[in-house]
Amino acid sequence: MENIPTWVEVTFLIAAVYTIIMFYLSNGRPKLLTGIIIIWCIAQSALAYSGFYPESDPETMPPRFTLVLLPATLLIIYGCFGKGRKWMLENRNTKISTFLHMVRIPVEIVLHQLFIYHMIPELMTYEGRNFDILAGITALIVGVLYWNGKISDKILLAWNFIGLFLIFFILFNGILSAELPFQMFAFDQPNRALNYFPFILLPAMIVPMVVYTHISDIINLMQKRNLN
């Protein structure tokens, strides 16, 4: 992307790598699944780099961006039910998975820079409607306290519900401010950056990972409460 400082793109790529590493470490180090995630990221990056996602006609149905959102949504659903749920319950290390959410700190810094360069609307930043950075900051505090047994599963469960609400809130705002047929916000400065490399990895991988980790940790913690 032209005019975007290199440090912004590098920071974002480091955040993406951090997300994959934390997913790997908190889920029993699954080599095959991690490899599939990396291939998915490369494929989406290639499509975005080639200019596939910006719509020439925003009224086109279905939007090309469906190729990002739909597979990720289906994988989250699969991962939380049936065999996916069983695998998660057997392999999840909740003490480590909480730290995955720290990725929201560099992501929010990057989003603010993208707003400054007119690539996303202000509502997508912490100066607008995006309070997701609070989940990133508290993830470190909550993670350390939980690791050392200073807070209970009940408190961690409540924190995960709050974090899930925050990510869903900004996710819906992001979708509704993008140049899609159902755009409702930010017509003067729409959400364009996520159509391009490397920022395509936010909806393609980082946000789904954050959402999945919250939901699966909620399931895991509630399962533990039922067993006690």
Give me the sign of the Cα torsion angle 16, 137, 99, 164. Answer: negative
d(CA 80, CA 64): 26
Confidence at 174, pLDDT banded by 50, 70, 90? confident
**What pLDDT does 180 receive?**
64
Single-letter amino acid, residue 111:
L
Higher-confidence residue: 192 or 143?
143
Q: Under DSSP, is residue 196 helix (H, G, I), strand (E, B) or coil?
A: coil
Paired tokens of 201: 């990895």
- Half-sphere exposure of residue 43, counting CA atoms within 13 Å on the CB side? 11
CB 71 within 8 A of CB 212: no
pLDDT one-digit tens code per residue, 10-64: 999 999 999 999 999 999 999 999 999 999 999 999 999 998 887 655 556 667 8
d(CA 52, CA 104): 27
**What pLDDT does 121 receive?**
87
In the chain, which ranges are continuous DSSP H helix? Answer: 6-26, 31-49, 66-80, 82-91, 94-100, 104-116, 133-147, 153-176, 201, 207-227
pLDDT one-digit tens code per residue, 54-89: 765 555 666 788 888 899 899 899 888 888 888 888
Q: Under DSSP, is residue 218 helix (H, G, I), strand (E, B) or coil?
A: helix
Higher-confidence residue: 110 or 88?
110
**What pLDDT does 110 receive?**
96
Q: pTM for the complete prediction? A: 0.91
**What pLDDT does 129 receive?**
83
**What pLDDT does 47 receive?**
93
Instruction: Collect all residues with Cβ–Cβ distance below 8 Å to 165 and sequence separation of at least 6.
Output: none
**What pLDDT does 53 receive?**
83
